[in-house]
Amino acid sequence: MRRGPLVLLRHGQSTANIEGRFTGWADVPLTAQGEEEAVEAARLLAADGLLPDVVHTSVMARSIRSADILLAELDRLWIPVQRTWRLNERQYGALTGRHKQEVRAEAGANLYQHWRRSLHGRPAPLAPHQLARLRADPRYAALRQDALPAVESLADMAARVVPYWADTLAPQLRTGMTVLVVAHGNSLRALAAVLDRLTEPDIERLNIPTGAPLRYDFGPDLRPVVRKGTYLDPHTALAKTALVAAEGHS
């Protein structure tokens, strides 16, 4: 039976991206460039014959808005959309909202990189009043209070992404559906780490650029045919990836 293709798309550029801030679970809008990135992503999907049958987003505005723009461009606003907190960006705890360059200057290059890109690095957690505000958010009303993270490592993120892959995404792909996931840099890193069985050094080197569709095709066992997938516009994706890797360093 044919396995459906999976497309991973990080939301378009946000105001926090352009300001060089850690965003985490804070809600921020797209920039004008971010909206255009979503339009361009739709054009790339259409050119590659990748019309999604179902879309998955986080419950964060920048993910939702990017998906809406893309679906409108493809004239597919009618397809099913599933939203889940499991695809939210990484909870950056006390780093949320802070400038990356400032954090790197304070913490030093090694600790900054450990917090930002390692599998197990965790900065300080959210303050109690910030966590209480998050618990009061109606998007998370159905979750147990102790399920809401005050801070996460990438390993913690993988623990919440893996069940969504196993219970929701993989079954849809097995039916032959074209599945689009519009999420965030770190939730997509966590998902890619699972799909590609990445080592810790691989994970540390993995950067996901905004607005760049990444295609995965699968064999019968749902193992990727091409490890690490294929960007629909590899030249642009490579240039954007270098910019993500350099965030906070200048």
| Residues recognised as catalytic | 11, 89
130-164 tens-digit pLDDT? 999 999 999 999 888 888 999 999 999 999 999 99
Distance spanning both ends of the chain, measured CA to CA: 49
Q: In the chain, which ranges are continuous DSSP H helix? A: 15-19, 32-47, 61-73, 100-107, 109-117, 128-135, 154-164, 170-174, 185-196, 200-205, 234-245
25-56 tens-digit pLDDT? 999 999 999 999 999 999 999 999 999 999 99
176-209 tens-digit pLDDT? 999 999 999 999 999 999 999 999 999 999 999 9
Mean pLDDT over residues 219-235, rounded? 95
Determine the 3-state secondary structure of 175 from DSSP: coil
Q: What architecture (CATH level 2) is domain 6-245?
A: 3-Layer(aba) Sandwich (3.40)
Exposure letters 110-134 (e unless 16+ CB within 10 A, then b)? eebbbbbbbbebbbebbeeebbeeb
Give me the residue spans of the domains in the chain.
6-245
pTM beyond 0.95: yes
Identity (one letter) of the amino acid at 170? A
